[in-house]
Amino acid sequence: MFIKIGERINSSRPPIARALRSKDEAFIRKEARLQKEAGAAMLDINCAVDSKDEARDMEWLAGIVQKETGLPLSIDSPNPKAIEAGLRKHKGKALVNSVTVEKGRADSILPFVKKYNAQVIILTMDEKGMPATAGDRASLAERALKLAEGHHISKQDIYIDPLIRPISSEQKQAFEVIESVKLIKAKYGLKVICGLSNVSFGLPERSTLNSVFLAMMLGAGLDAAILDPTDKKIKAVLRASDALLAGDDFCKEYLKSYRSGELK
């Protein structure tokens, strides 16, 4: 079953940065509720941009978002302290977003993943930077698996993120990412996740590109994505793909969406 992770509680979005600064709990709760109602199974929280005390902000976010929704969270930060603060506050099984295959970075965060029995997103990136081809991404996924196993993290708690770059700057990369999903799943049986909206950065009508790329990635075998579950075109793709991948018995939810005019 495909996992939808809501991306909206991220301080790179100005309204979220404002709510964080003024500790506007009602606004954060509303953003959390909206995404849960749109079908998110998990919510990403990120306060890296514009935070004076990221660990405290992360703890604050984790508390109110879980209180409002009861959903598990994706604790999203480049900062090991903020990740640990989020994990300490979190109830149930969290997702740590993210580590890379760089040894230093992985070793500073993977012990928390183990300690708090969390899941983890590992980016296909090492000291040498971003990978160019599907094959490079698959090799990095294999290294990611070994690294996590070295910390006694089990395979089903790992998600590989093959790192999508904007097609506006590197047009061949979307194809390489799609091919890498097939390779990583076929060769290593690892789960694959992606942060969707990066692909369309710098282009107009991003919702079209994001939703079509999502469907293509689902066809390649994507297991989870961080996306805006309230976006109309993304909702239509997820509704249709649930029906197509037999995740929606007798197409009941699809028919309900049709009757309410959501598929137009």
Task: Single out the segment in contact with a copy of itself by CB under 8 A; choices: 2-10, 85-93, 132-140, 197-205.
Answer: 197-205
Would you say 153 and 113 are in contact if contact means Cβ atoms under 8 Å apart? yes
User: According to CB under 8 A, which residues from 125 to 164 bind a copy of itself?
Assistant: none
Identify the helix (H) or strand (E) that includes residue 44.
Answer: strand 42-46
Choice from 17, 38, 49, 240 touching a copy of itself (CB under 8 A): 240
For residue 26, what are the contacts with CB-CB under 8 A and spacing of at least 6? none
List, in sequence order, the alpha helices (H) in 80-133. 80-89, 103-115
Q: Report the nearest approach of a copy of itself to the CB of residue 138 (Å).
A: 13
Q: Among candidates 94, 201, 33, which has minimal Cα distance to 9?
A: 33
Choice from 93, 203, 232, 256 touching a copy of itself (CB under 8 A): 203
Q: Report the nearest approach of a copy of itself to the CB of residue 58 (Å).
A: 33
Would you say 45 and 82 are in contact if contact means Cβ atoms under 8 Å apart? no
Would you say 164 and 194 are in contact if contact means Cβ atoms under 8 Å apart? yes
The DSSP call for residue 198 is G
Choice from 105, 213, 223, 231 touching a copy of itself (CB under 8 A): 213
Token output for 60: 């604050």
Q: CA 42 to CA 92: how far, in whole Å? A: 12
Q: Any idea what the Cα angle at residue 187 is, between residues 181 and 192, rounded to 5°?
A: 30
Token output for 56: 């405290």
Q: CA 39 to CA 162: how far, in whole Å? A: 24
Query: Contact between 41 and a copy of itself (CB under 8 A)?
Result: no
Nearer of residues 34 and 212 to a copy of itself, judged by Cβ? 212
Choice from 167, 190, 192, 224 touching a copy of itself (CB under 8 A): 167
Choice from 21, 208, 232, 256 touching a copy of itself (CB under 8 A): 208
Choice from 20, 215, 226, 227 touching a copy of itself (CB under 8 A): 215
Q: Any idea what the Cα angle at residue 195 is, between residues 16 and 232, rounded to 5°?
A: 70
Nearer of residues 8 and 233 to a copy of itself, judged by Cβ? 233
Number of residues engaging a copy of itself in binding (CB under 8 A)? 41
Query: Contact between 241 and a copy of itself (CB under 8 A)?
Result: yes
Q: Report the nearest approach of a copy of itself to the CB of residue 77 (Å).
A: 29
Query: Contact between 168 and a copy of itself (CB under 8 A)?
Result: yes
Q: Which residues bind a copy of itself (CB under 8 A)?
A: 167-168, 171-172, 174-175, 178, 182, 186, 199, 203-205, 208-209, 212-213, 215-221, 236-237, 239-241, 243-246, 249-251, 254-255, 258, 263-264
